[in-house]
A and B are shown apart, each in its own frame.
Chain A
Amino acid sequence: MNAAGSRERILSRIRSAVAGAGEVEITRAYRTSPDPAAAAGLVGLLAERVADYRAVVHVVDEGEAAATIAAALARRGATRLVAPDGLPPEWAPGEPVTDDPPLSAAELDRVDGVVTGCAVAIAETGTIVLDTGPGQGRRALTLLPDYHLCVVRAEQIVAGVPEAVGRLDPSRPLTWISGPSATSDIELNRVEGVHGPRTLEVVVIR
């Protein structure tokens, strides 16, 4: 059976399989917008939920962000950093490595860490979403280095998953991150860092 034949065959099987079946309406009675009382506490909720995943979290004012980032990197001893295009320079102190021309996978594997912004953050689930936009870089940048520091601005935080899905553009490659890489495959014990970054540090600007 050639490929074109299979397409028609599958589609015609589907047609006869569902012939006569009734139409199904979709009821969306679940929560799609936050209750106003919760909206005020989103920064705190995000910080709490991200920390639940054993990520390191700081909540700071705009003016403190650069110093907090610099101190975090110093504590970590991270000197060779990748800074994606469009990242505010004060978020990556020193002389960060740029991804232009693109770094090879081996080069990315050797840096100490990466600093990025994000597209959206979800308070209820403690999730940050990167869409490869300015200050975030391509997907490999937040994958190969063992340390990822992500800066989230208050206006990027939404309450729940539906609001995040509504804000995101599906034509861009998206990476949703909830805590550092983890596995539970060995007796269901959670172990951080199998393949992705083993340490995730989040700076939330309130």
Chain B
Amino acid sequence: MSGGATFLGMPAFPVNAAAAVQDSQLRYNLRKATHTIRGKRALAVGELPDWTELRRAAKEIKDHTLRNLERYLVRMEEAVTAAGGHVHWAADAEEANRIVADLVKATGETSVVKVKSMATQEIGLNEALELEGITAYETDLAELIVQLGDDWPSHILVPAIHRNRSEIREIFREKMADWGRAAPEDLTDEPRALAEAARLHLRERFLSTRVAISGANFMIAETGTLVVLESEGNGRMCLTLPETLISVVGIEKLLPSWQDLEVFLQLLPRSSTGERMNPYTSTWTGAAEGQEFHLVLLDNGRTDVLADEIGRQALRCIRCSACLNVCPVYERAGGHAYGSVYPGPIGAILTPQLRGTASELDASLPYASTLCGACFDACPVAIDIPEVLVHLRGRVRHPRVERLGMRAAGWVFNRPARLARTQRLGGRLRRFVPGRLPGPLSAWTDTRDIPDIPSESFRDWWDRTDGGVK
């Protein structure tokens, strides 16, 4: 099923992307979705006269929190405990999964309902629970589509963005019965009918499941409060109805004070779905309304990211996905090519920092960008993604052909006389330059045209015509 583990062993980004761009259905689905959401976001953001000031405050609140993370995490722990909750610390994915599995087993239950959560996907929680005989049911509509389709999420906010309505209908008809209530016989591909099928399928489960697992968008150190933003109400179902609630939250999701929420509740909905506010936001502090509450604080590589002076700004991310929707590379390659639960520009800087760059895929991610900077402009917490990409490129070696090419170019550019001779040679031989380069260089020309080589360089033209006078 969906999860971090399924991404292991994937080839490098260029290989995945090359396959994805051949899929015209995928390109169509993505283009339509990203352009729609881009337009909505621009309207919602344009409505706020103080967007720049909110963005600055958000960046500073996050940086301040990261600088003082130790103090605020301890404060969070105290506040949650004082409100009747239990706090657990998980250094890595394995430990987090072990803690959650043990907590579920202690309840005697063998199934749990889940609120969409990036953190639990990152640690492969569903797969880990399955090995312990516990079934985790995703309840977000898009996550349900992904889970039933035995697929991977491809977008932070709209995990099934790569699927269109007729594909979703097929998945529901073929798979719903295996997981619970079957899809209606006469199911059409109308979004309303599909949503209704999901409502019926999941409602039985909400009413009968006694353990829920969530993440959180924010947690507030001052008060010990957790905050979940959502649209469908599946989050409220999971957060409210079960007797036991387990929340797995990355340590960077912290905000110092209750007041800080006023900044992020304005930035997040407008940046992510392009709405003034998302339909539902739930907040709870400790054991609310008699529920048993466990908070699992997750590191899993975050402290490594924190240790990098340039890279640590990635921890400001509030998972709004605005950077995905404006990225020309994401729009064509799709989310799966990034081989991580964090796709798009933010994934290209977050994944290689969280996982390291030992694998071919992770080493290729800092190159999965044109450095156009649209992501930086869109980011509500002002993460300078291009800066981090360039910083990370310094850490992983460029491909051999590229290094040789750059060395040759350096040799030519270093002496004006060499450059002039090379240009004259190029001009004379221009008829013999092929449209497609041979060997490993073909990777470049497969997706690009070689520019026409002029018969004469600008300098030669300047000399010959005496600056255009003759």
A residues apposed to B, CB below 8 Å: 1, 3, 6-7, 9-11, 13-18, 21-32, 49, 52-53, 105-106, 109, 122, 124-127, 132, 138-140, 143, 160-162, 164-166, 170-189, 191, 193-197
Contacts and interface: CB of A to CB of B under 8 A. Distances in A.
Given A17-B307, A140-B240, A143-B236, 6 more contacts: A173-B282, A181-B280, A182-B231, A185-B142, A195-B202, A196-B279
B297 interface: yes
Interface in B75-97: 83, 88-91, 95
Given A18-B66, A24-B64, A125 B50 contact: no
A54 to B, nearest CB: 11
B178 interface: no
Interface stretch (B158-166, B384-392, B415-423, B424-432): B158-166
B26 interface: no
B307 A27 contact: no
B236 A139 contact: yes
B99 interface: yes
Nearest to B55: A30
A196 to B, nearest CB: 3
Secondary structure call for the B interface = helix
B279 A26 contact: no
A24 B145 CA distance: 42
A13 B303 contact: yes
A11 to B, nearest CB: 5
B292 interface: no
Contacts, number: 231
Contact of A194 (B49, B57, B63, B232): B232
Of the candidates B53, B69, B223, B233, the one having the most CB atoms from chain A within 10 angstroms of its own CB is B233
A176 to B, nearest CB: 4
B195 A7 contact: no
Given A6-B89, A178-B277, A183-B232, A188 B33 contact: yes
A27 B56 contact: yes
A194 B231 CA distance: 9
Of the candidates A16, A182, A197, the one having the most CB atoms from chain B within 10 angstroms of its own CB is A182
Contacts of B207: 105-106, 109
Interface string B28-56: 01001100110000000000011001101
B49 A14 contact: no
B261 interface: yes
Contacts of A194: 141, 195, 198-199, 231-234
A165 B266 CA distance: 11
Contacts of B273: 184
A139 B191 contact: no
Interface stretch (B283-291, B359-367, B397-405, B440-448): B283-291
A122 B66 CA distance: 31
B284 A173 contact: yes
Secondary structure call for the A interface = loop
A24 B63 contact: yes
B233 A166 contact: no
A170 B220 contact: yes
A3 B49 CA distance: 47
B212 interface: no
Contact of A27 (B60, B220, B261): B60
B203 interface: yes
A170 B57 CA distance: 21
Interface in B7-44: 29, 32-33, 36-37
A91 B225 CA distance: 32
Q: Enumerate the 9 nearest inter-chain pairs by beta-carbon distance, A residue then B residue, closest first.
A: A196-B233, A195-B233, A13-B303, A176-B281, A17-B307, A181-B233, A125-B277, A185-B142, A162-B262
Contacts of B299: 6, 10, 13
A140 B306 CA distance: 39
B378 interface: no
A26 B59 CA distance: 9
A171 B83 contact: yes
Contact of B280 (A26, A122, A166, A177): A177
Contacts of B29: 187
Contact of B241 (A28, A140, A162): A140
Interface string B223-253: 1010000011110110111000000000100
Contact of B262 (A22, A161, A191): A161
A187 B280 contact: no
Contacts of A180: 279
A130 to B, nearest CB: 10
Contacts of A132: 289
A115 to B, nearest CB: 18
Nearest to B261: A165
Given A181-B231, A196-B236, A188 B307 contact: no
Contacts of B276: 49, 52, 124-126, 178
A55 to B, nearest CB: 10
B279 A186 contact: no
B277 A191 contact: no
Contacts of B233: 143, 181, 194-197
Nearest to B69: A14
B263 interface: yes
Contacts of B220: 170
